[in-house]
Structure 1
Amino acid sequence: MNSSTTPMAGNSHCFHMVRTVSEAAKAMTPISVSRDAYLKSSYSGSAGFTLLELMVVLTIIGMASILIAPNVGNFESRTFSAQVRHATSLLNYARRIAVVQGQPSTATFYAVLKEGDPGFEDENRRGNNIGIWESNAATLRFRDSTDRETDIEDRIGITFYPEGGSTGGTLIFSLEDQIVTVVVDPFTGRLSTEYE
């Protein structure tokens, strides 16, 4: 045995053996692989969403449903409320105009307003008619000072006078199960609204 060749052969074999064991360890345990190589190999083929992206999308959908869902069923209710607000605003405006200008002013309420109706343009051209209100699917009734109640099929006018008084009466707006009563005081012209 040659001492110079034997250790050499033994060292080379040992070196080759260590390299093989090291490669086997890397192949068997993914922990020993570098993090970049592991991430590159595991995410390169996946095209999914992160948890953060999913949470953001679900939050947006939740907020949209909070805003949209309650408004789906009460569209008629909101239009009815808008009609009542418009009617009370018109009455308040007529009262204010009568007092400020010193002449009577009338607010006219139509059950159905058609441009072909006789008196449509004449009513709007009169100096004391300050505005009109038209029903949009709401039923309009009028109760006078003698508590006689009538359905308004055409129109009715409430006139305010410069001294503060008015023709007075009670306008009753209704749509399905909603009823709003607007009382016009004949002596002061002030309005009071009651929701039933």
Structure 2
Amino acid sequence: MKQSQSKKQVALGLAVLIAIFAVFYWLVTSLWSWFSELNSDLAVGMLTASSTVIVATVTLVLGRYLERVKEAESHLRSQKIEMYDEFLKQLFSLFHQERSQDSEDLVSFLQEWQRKLVVWGGPNVLKAFIQWKEYMSYKEPDAQTVFLMDAFFRAMRRDIGLSNKNLDKGCFSHLLLRHASLFLAEAKKNPNVTLKEVAELEKKLGL
């Protein structure tokens, strides 16, 4: 709802700005036509004074409009950061906690978080999350599961203005998997390798 209101405010602001420029153009053309009929010295003086007032007015209005847009964008970005961080805290706790979390609590959290995602999430983030979620619903956890998660993380970073430059595919697996380098090496050899197979290999290697 808040995001919708922000978009309406931006649209209204653009409409007002267009109207102001239209009025400004009309005033300039009308004044120019009028000034052309006056004495040259008088016309130059009046044109100079009028231009100063008009430019100052347009600058003030434009500055306030851009300030409102910046405030709306800043508010939206802060909401996104808070929401994405909330999800990452929950996800990291699942990977690193010693005891399993209550499934009912997890389901409740995801339902509430997905509601927020509809309101605050960017389109690319929403798309990446759905692809990851759908894949996990019918496939055993494998390399593609991790890479879709990686793509979801990248989408969140882009949505809040962060760059993913020089971040290799699968780099975020290092933050969640104990032996991410081994996983990435196995995934390179077999794109369909499962996490269970990687775990068995870790045991064989004594890791």
TM-score computed with the length of structure 1 as normaliser: 0.26
Answer 1 or 2: higher relative contact order, Cα 8 Å, separation at least 6.
2
Higher share of residues assigned helix: 2
Higher gyration radius (CA) = 1
